[in-house]
Structure 1
Amino acid sequence: MTLFKNPEFEFSALLALGASGQRSGEVGEVLTAVNAINKAGLSAQTYVETFRKLGDRLMKAPEGGKSDRETRRFRALRAAQYYAQALFFVLGSDDPGNEEELYKSGRGAWDTFCGLCDPAPVTASVPYGKTPLPVWFFRPDESGRRRPTVILTNGSDGQNVDMWTYGVAAALDRDWNALVYDGPGQGQLIFVDRVVFTPRWENVVTPLVDWLVARSDVTADRIALTGLSMAGDLAPRAAAFERRLAALVAMPGCLDPWLGFPAEIRKILTPNKQETNDVWNKEVVPHLSPAEAATLKKRFEPFSVPAMLAAREGKVFTDFYTPAKLIQSMAVTDVVGHIKTPTLVLDYEFEQFYPGQARQMFDRLTAPKEYVKLTAATGAQLHCSPMAPQQHCEVVFDWLRETLSGG
């Protein structure tokens, strides 16, 4: 399936299209938007404008009558998806300074959706350093019965709506609890609070586990942790040190996020900060195309507040060294062997960002483990199976059920 000739736009749109299976997208809406963008001429500007307007429209009452609670709920969820689509490319648009406002539009749609759920998720702020973590705790009902719980971890550029697609809906269908959160470098913490990623993800997950085990509706010895996209690095890092987790899923397994960047970008980094930044500013930045610059702005912003703020002003960041070293420090190659938690490692045919790393992680694990590769034979190829999140969740939750029940 080809929606756009550009692979970045193609992958993002496929995520929106695939999300339709979990009601966090709509095939007709996405394809209509794709047609409009192609007709206008594919660019960050046309993509952002089209999906933002679609989100705005869904947050209003539909034509032809008053909408009921369920209609408003899932219109808001789809709006959150479309705002997230626009947010991803806004730094390459004509109005990059609109990034925080666009994030807040998507967050508002997500919060509207959550408020209309029955029951609504419990919301809280879990202590973490100087900036607490916002959490949304979904339950199948308000009976207070103890249940297995899955902590869903997003990657470097996902939004909360992606956690609905890749876990919340599946957990609720199986009578499980699900916890969604923004960690450093994600959602509210990066776009509003300006807190970048940390390589010590156990310091993020441990307070979440503390919060969960204190609840009377959580089975304390049946808490699982999943990590989507770059969180296939973050979640294993946490599990290497947080021993109360009963199961771990890396989607996909990622040992070293820095290797997910192009080789020609990685070679810029040297042990010398001044030398590195001189090469970046004098030899690289002047030759970047607008599209290349936009991609690098987006990929570096969760690791550098100055990079994010420069991008919002339409500029390329000047300090390459600092965020590059942070990304480099997030490798988990040396700690995977410490994981004791039973682990499922997912891999994808035609994985674009971390090819080969899932198998390498699986081989390094000494804990009980399983490796599953999702393929093009069932439409589940590419990073995170964008066209097949239902299949993805079936694999993950079947394994979780078997693992947490003891086989």
Structure 2
Amino acid sequence: MARTHEFTFSGNPDFDFEIRTTIGQAYSGAADIGEVLAAVHGVGDKDHEGWFHAWRELGSRVAAQGEASAAAGHAVSAAAAFLRAASYYATAVNAVASLPSDDDLLPTFRAHRAAWDRWVDLVDVRIDRVDIPYGDTTMPGYLFHAASAAGETGATGASSASRPMLVVANGSDGALTSLWSAAVSGALRRGYDALVFDGPGQQSMLFERGVPFRPDWEAVLTPVLDFVLAQPGVDADRVAVYGISQAGYWVPRALAFEHRFAAAVVDPGVVDVSTSWTEHLPANMRKLLDEAQDEKFDRDMAMGMKFSHELSYTWAFRARPYGTTGYAETMRAVLQYTAEDVAGRISTPLLITSPEHEQFWPGQSERLAALTPDVSTLLPFTEAEGADFHVQPLARSLTEQRMFDWLDERLRDSVR
């Protein structure tokens, strides 16, 4: 029997994972497998310019199809095209990471968000654009409303007058289309309302406002929850939170201080964000960092980057959300993103996915479960199921089934 690691869509591991992630969104309508594979066919493993342009051009072509359908009065077809276009533009945004210039970043992001907003306006779902109070500013978000008829109850026992709510938290570089595919579409089908938003360091907050990440994510998630609880029709006893990718850190960190959520899912669990950075450092470089020899660390890093322009471009792209400049400064910032010392305070029922062959934070789902033994459930996903690799990109249907079955049961139990 073939296993997922025995076939690849590209010899470049980053390209291969992006293809898997994008075609995995076909389950929720955010991709069409054939057009994706056709678009990237022939792109060489080291052709980063070609990789970017393949996705950018695919997004533009599908967006044009959406405009043509909309002009002809075919709203359903137009909405479907704009959702796919938004997904493809989002992949193009990530592809900018390996380009020598980020000149294409903001225009591509704005094309992504424009396609997403066209979908929001056309799709047969009630979606409100919202601004969530955050300090002296706001965070942009989208509030999705389940289409349950008056008096109708769903799997969670929710009626149109009082429904469960799923807050969906993004990772380090994910787009809103990925959140639709990861959780929102499944939530709506089960009678949940759902909220997505850009937090500090994410998407519009970073690219358009220059607001960086922060490690104390309770300062983000608590005002989001306050906003949710103020919305009409929300059952305060049935508000859950889902975090994908690096939100596997954001959410547990916040839950250590914010105890009002009825349940939480992290996909996967992340205790220490920095390991995805430090594990790639040679031992001598880690020693310089440990000994606070920042000047030598920066000098040696700069020398190493001269031998790999692609690595230097990627470093700059990945460092941007942390609001730092120097190499050592960036590493010291990333080292603050740990929940090791606070995870034991979590009292919220917590589901932790654990995919085989997790490539970014291996073993951390298990570590988070060990730190939260009284409240956590570890949920394995395997290669034999076609559900391996970070966030199970080719098994989103299976992931949705398992996490919502668990959430349905927890939210039923939470009703007073």
Give the Å deviation of 1:403: 0.9
Report % sequence identity: 31
Q: Calculate the aligned-residue CA RMSD, in Å.
A: 1.9
Q: Secondary structure at the residue paired with 2:232? A: coil
2:147–2:188 CA contact under 8 A, matched in 1: no
SS at match of 2:194: strand
* Local SS of the residue matching 2:103: helix
Residue of structure 1 in register with 2:84 after alignment: 78
Q: Which of residues 51, 60, 68 in structure 2 aligns to 1:47? A: 51
Aligned to 1:292: 311
Mapped pair 1:103 → 2:104: no
Aligned to 1:324: 331
Contact kept? 2:133, 2:227, Cα under 8 Å: no
Q: Secondary structure, in 3 states, of the residue corresponding to 1:58?
A: helix
Shift of 1:290: 2.4
2: distance between equivalents of 1:346 and 1:234?
A: 15
Task: Report what 1:183 is aligned to.
Answer: 199
Could you say which residue in structure 2 is the equivalent of 1:368?
A: 375
Distance in 1 between residues matched to 2:131 and 2:42, nearest whole Å: 40
1:201 maps to what in 2?
Answer: 217
Q: Is the contact between residue 268 and residue 391 of structure 2 (CA under 8 Å) also seen in structure 1?
A: yes
Are 1:4 and 2:10 counterparts? Answer: yes
**How far did residue 185 of structure 1 move?**
1.1
Aligned to 1:100, the other structure's residue is in SS state helix
1:199-278 equivalent positions in 2, closer than 5 A:
199-265=215-281, 267=286, 269-270=289-290, 271-278=292-299
State the SS of the aligned residue for 1:376: coil
In structure 2, which of residues 122, 133, 140 is the aligned counterpart of residue 127 of structure 1? 133
Question: What is the DSSP-based 3-state SS (H/G/I as helix, E as strand, rest coil) of the residue aligned with 1:29?
Answer: helix
- The structural deviation recorded for 1:264 is 4.2
- Secondary structure of the residue that 2:377 maps to in structure 1? strand
Q: Which residue of the partner structure matches residue 157 of structure 2?
A: none
Secondary structure of the 1:180 match is strand
Displacement of 1:392: 1.1
Report the CA distance shift for 1:128/1:272 in structure 2 as closer, same or farther (over 3 A). farther
Offset at residue 388 of structure 1 (A) = 1.2
Contact 1:156–1:186 under 8 Å retained in 2: yes
d(CA) in 2 for partners of 1:61, 1:159? 21
Match of 1:61? 65
CA contact (8 A) 2:98 2:311 kept: no
Partner in structure 2 of residue 118 of structure 1 = 124
- 1:262 Cα shift? 4.7
Q: What is the CA–CA distance in structure 2 between the aligned matches of 1:129 and 1:272, rounded to whole Å?
A: 36
Contact 2:305 2:311 in 1 (8 A): no
Which residues of 2 match residues 312-391 of structure 1 at below 5 A? 319-391=326-398
Alignment of 1:303-318 (within 5 A): 303-304=322-323
Equivalent residue, structure 1, for 2:3: none
Q: Is the 8 A contact 1:147 1:177 kept in 2?
A: yes
Show the counterpart of 1:316.
Answer: none
The offset of 1:112, in angstroms, is: 1.2
2:32 aligned residue: 26
- Could you say which residue in structure 2 is the equivalent of 1:315? none
Give CA deviations for 1:243-270 in whole Å, capped at 9, x if unaligned.
1101011111110010012534372534
Gaps of 5+ in 1: 308-318
SS in 2 for 1:291: helix
Question: Shift of residue 23 of structure 1?
Answer: 0.5
Tell me by how many angstroms 1:36 deviates. Answer: 4.2
Quote the offset at 1:118 in angstroms.
Answer: 2.8
Report the number of matched residues: 391
Which amino acid counterpart does residue 269 of structure 1 have in structure 2? Answer: L
Q: CA deviation at 1:26?
A: 0.4
Any conservation in 1 of the 2:48–2:98 contact (CA below 8 Å)? yes
Deviation at 1:42, TM superposition (A): 4.8
2:155 aligned residue: none
Which stretch of the first structure deviates more once superposed, 267-276 or 375-384? 267-276
The 8 Å contact of residues 131 and 193 in structure 1, kept in 2 or not, is answered as no
Q: Summarize deviations over 1:29-75 as a string: whole Å, max 9, x none.
A: 1111121425xx65211111111111111111367993511111111
Q: Aligned AA for 2:327?
A: F
Separation in 2, partners of 1:285, 1:296: 9
In structure 2, the partner of 1:279 is 300
Q: Is the 8 A contact 1:3 1:34 kept in 2?
A: no
- List per-residue Cα deviations over 1:160-211 (Å, max 9, x = no partner): 0000010010000101111101111111011111111101101101111111
Q: 1:14 aligns with which of 20, 23, 29?
A: 20
Q: Which amino acid aligns with 1:301?
A: R
Q: Is contact 1:343-1:367 (8 Å) kept? A: no
- Give, in angstroms, the shift of residue 367 of structure 1: 3.5
